[in-house]
Structure 1
């Protein structure tokens, strides 16, 4: 047996009349005249097959059929209202799930103010944060397992691929030294002074451009770094330096780790900088992504080299 369709305007009119128990008051509340209200109720009663109201001069009351229908009508109207609110929130980017990849060092700079701003603006959005180095983030974006990446040194051929990039900040490099290293007594360190020390670096596959930037600084200073140990994350690099396994060159934000066994010194030339970028799929029109990019402006996270959301930086 087919279920009869119950148009929502009829259910709405029925629920309002059940509240008011007065055709004039219900019509005024609905913003319609009494005859259209009576027609709506009559059509609904025809679908039910029984009267829903007892009509008498000066009095309107629900019939047993009306009493039975009223809770279901109210649930249907409430469910619709909830569904519409949820749909509007999702369409505005005020609800849903946003998956963000981030490089570990950005937890020391970009991530806290960005997340604070975004959570204040969009408390209904669920954030799924995934710590990942640059190369895995790029792969995850293309595989659609994350929505936005916060990474270092995007690839040189970024403009030709399926991803967009926006510069978030640039920062200088620092020398990472064992606290008892002779160079730790200096206020700053020239890259050439590290030539005789073994290096602890990230493996090139996890961040090819950053690796090449660091080894390029060494090459410009006249030497190829002798790599004694690799570590995937910067805190591990610093811990190994503190244990005496070598020295390193790292983004300046690493200084916030404040390890007692490690000294951080500015690097000369100070014009050498590393770039942090937000990355997302170019064809992604998700309001969640757009809202996160907009939150970068209000978070205080963006620094020199930033561009407006939705535009690729030609310097990447």
Structure 2
């Protein structure tokens, strides 16, 4: 299967027949017939019912047609964007991000970047920190927005740009008695069920929190193990318990959750921009600069 075959097939459908499609494409009708026959050979069945006049799509043809149109659209977009990158009038930047940055940080970063580089296509991929280096090696993304607790393993083929040190805050149900305080002590988790996240075998994030609490002599009851932070906060809002979150996410529009600074906690999170070692570009540098600026403002 090639794009010419797909294009000729779609043109026959759109034009209502092979002869009309040939006129539109400025080719001989026999060329149309030959390409359609090759496409049918590739997909393993007839795309048109040739016993009718005008020809009608078979069930296979009806399946292939909308997908073929989408394929042509994607190919056209790829061609256009590639030409923009080649002549310097546009560009493409793949960004991997963790879900917690969706609360306030990432939308502002995207807005700021688009205002400065409206011609650049941002390809946004939600992916946990532990998977971002794989995406970088596969060149699926150009920068990963990661979050770690304490020290973390640095791969030799990656660069790590520390964006901010992001202290922990507690998330509490708005009507919980502890929510009326100015600060929260980690010992209060002994009377408050803990909601753990993210639920992923490769992420040590939640376990590092529990290890630190255990070192402080605090062993909270784990009542829920949430897949991701949005779910965890929804459970907090439902009154099922509390959890710890990074301070940069606390400016959000949830009305059922209260965020308080945490006393006597000795760990924090670090927001990191991860890139392929030694690789840089004006677009990448601009994105990381805007990320650092917005992150700094988010914790002031």
> Does the TM-score normalized on the shorter chain lie above 0.5?
yes
Output aligned runs, 1:163-312, within 5 Å.
163-203=158-198, 205=200, 208-269=203-264, 272-296=267-291, 299-302=293-296
The 3-state SS of whatever aligns with 2:200 is: helix
Residue among 125, 129, 154 paired with 2:124: 129
The 3-state SS of whatever aligns with 1:105 is: helix
Q: Distance in 1 between matches of 2:192 and 2:236?
A: 11
1:195/1:120 CA distance change after superposition, 3 Å: same
Contact 1:137 1:149 in 2 (8 A): yes
Q: Distance in 1 between matches of 2:169 and 2:202?
A: 18
Contact 1:210 1:274 in 2 (8 A): no
Residue among 116, 124, 134 paired with 1:139: 134
Q: Distance in 2 between matches of 1:206 and 1:133?
A: 11
What residue in structure 2 maps to residue 9 of structure 1? none
Q: Distance in 2 between matches of 1:255 and 1:290?
A: 27
Contact 1:170 1:303 in 2 (8 A): no
1:258/1:292 CA distance change after superposition, 3 Å: closer
Q: TM-score, normalised by structure 1?
A: 0.59
Report the alpha carbon displacement of residue 303 of structure 1 after superposing the two structures with TM: 6.7
What residue in structure 2 maps to residue 308 of structure 1? none
Q: Distance in 1 between matches of 2:87 and 2:215?
A: 55
Report the alpha carbon displacement of residue 253 of structure 1 after superposing the two structures with TM: 3.0
Report the alpha carbon displacement of residue 84 of structure 1 after superposing the two structures with TM: 9.6
Deviations 1:263-290, CA, capped at 9 Å, x for gaps: 2221103664211111111143444323
The 3-state SS of whatever aligns with 1:149 is: strand
Q: Distance in 1 between matches of 2:139 and 2:85?
A: 24
Output aligned runs, 1:81-96, within 5 Å.
87-89=86-88, 95-96=90-91
Contact 1:102 1:133 in 2 (8 A): yes
Contact 1:134 1:151 in 2 (8 A): yes
1:105/1:217 CA distance change after superposition, 3 Å: same
1:151/1:86 CA distance change after superposition, 3 Å: closer
Any stretches of 5+ residues in structure 1 without a counterpart?
A: 1-82, 305-316
Aligned residue-pair number? 216
Residue among 112, 115, 130 paired with 2:110: 115
Residue among 142, 145, 153 paired with 1:150: 145
1:180/1:96 CA distance change after superposition, 3 Å: same
Contact 2:199 2:226 in 1 (8 A): no
Contact 1:110 1:302 in 2 (8 A): no
Q: Distance in 1 between matches of 2:173 and 2:85?
A: 54
Q: Distance in 2 between matches of 1:84 and 1:130?
A: 23
Report the alpha carbon displacement of residue 244 of structure 1 after superposing the two structures with TM: 2.6
